[in-house]
Structure 1
Amino acid sequence: MSVSGIGTSCTYLYDATTGKLSTKDGTKNNFVDYFNGDSSEETLEDLNGFDKNNKYELQELFWLFRDGYIGKNVQKDDSGKYEITAEIEDTVTSNFYINGTKVFTAYRPVTYTDKEIKMFSDLHQPYRTHTSKAYDPTDNSINIAVGDVFDLGNGYRITVKNDCMDGEGYGRSKEDDEKMEQLRYGMNALMRFADQQCFSSLISEECTPMVLEMLHEMGVDTSREFIINGTKCCLRDGRIREVGNKYVVPSSIYQKALKRYEEELYRPLTDEKNIKHA
């Protein structure tokens, strides 16, 4: 039996009366034995964490199917069974089909270490970018770095300190001071987002117009993809987002956690660590 992994697609027959699987040609199959509770130590050597996830998700699928939440119009074959296909799309996504019709998609979360959680939740940690870079029109990029000073031209200035945005020029008027404080907060959020230290949602809706105006002053064209401190950004629904990021957390942190999870899933089920974490 080939090792399960990304891109694997396997088809079985499901007997709703017994709740068990079988192969289409009646041959022995290690995953079928594992799902039906007939596995042995030798069986587990050929299975891995992807198989463990598939077993759990198929159980969930069959529960939803039996209770009529999915596949209401799906018919049994002549033997009274249903054809089930499990397709592993990527490390955290699997698709399931009944008689060729897609009925269920399972999404699995990755887990983060305490250090990784601190990396995207500690808003007092030092910024990462220390090399300033002027606007480059070839890739619509710029670096905002520790030590940069932005003179707003109205008596206010923002200086990028080691771990915060420092504002100067307060005291002109309450309204102007409040705008300056909002911009300072927004620039800090932008810096941490661009340095892969926090969620893009930290750049609040209220701060976004002022941050965009600052970027435009620097030459950045935010009507298309732009790069801040190496992070590819775009505007989506009026908010600054990381291009291609569907995971909320910064992509650099997510990818490390994803790779670690994938390595665990490829370990055989006889590996105690895999059994514990998959």
Structure 2
Amino acid sequence: GIRLREPLQAEEYLVEEFDLHVGDFCVVETATGTALGEVRRPKRPLPESKRDRLFRKVIRKATTSEANDWRERRERERRAVVTCQERARQKNLHLKVVDVDIQPDGRRVTVLFNAEDRVDFRELVRDLAREFRARIEMRQIGARDTTKVMDGIGPCGRQLCCSSWLRKFEPISVKMAKTQDMPLTDNRLLGNCGRLKCCLLYEFSTYEQLRAYLPRVGKACQAECGGGGCMQGVVKSIRVLKQTVVVGFQDGTEAEVPLDLVTWEGRPHIKPL
């Protein structure tokens, strides 16, 4: 895996003739030509599942001079983030500078920023153009993209999915949390970005499939309980992963009953997964 810039994810490239190690620099193909990148993951065999994919290639190893230039430019970009934030603060602009990308020739500077409202940054652009003697492009990004660029550790103890492997953001809804029986008022549903966690999507389809076999809460049903035969009752709650139903009976008692021992009107004739 090779990373072209620090906030970006490491992408996979095809290596044919070079022996590259983590920390090495190399020149790779890009959509617009070539670029310098740093090796972040070691070389590994190409899995069968990916043999049909088209990968851009590693062209050559970078020279010592090119590697030093890459490090120096990245250091200039870190300093530029501080400079841009100071200039924005001086002009009372309510925005957060997330990252700065300086082109190798220094003629173009892209400033990534996050702001809750629309910002008139025309004066800021003029000041930054004089400061960097370059064309300035201001690019506003949302909360999720901001967190992706800044990186971090999630509550699971691992690097954020969006910063490590997630390629695109999918819409996440409260329905996904509700389907998985999660408390909707729990702040733990929110990620580092303050939005609903992307990982709510990962098991959502499984829960939907398993829920399809279960009755709705409040549904009248019959349950086989021990030697008592079938007893009439009402569904009080369901256990999706266990595929069991908590049934309330007419005598006021409740019992957790396996799905195979519960029948109700309109039950789908499908076996659970």
TM-score, structure 2 normalization: 0.21
Which structure's CA Rg is the greater one? 2
| TM-score (normalised: structure 1) | 0.21
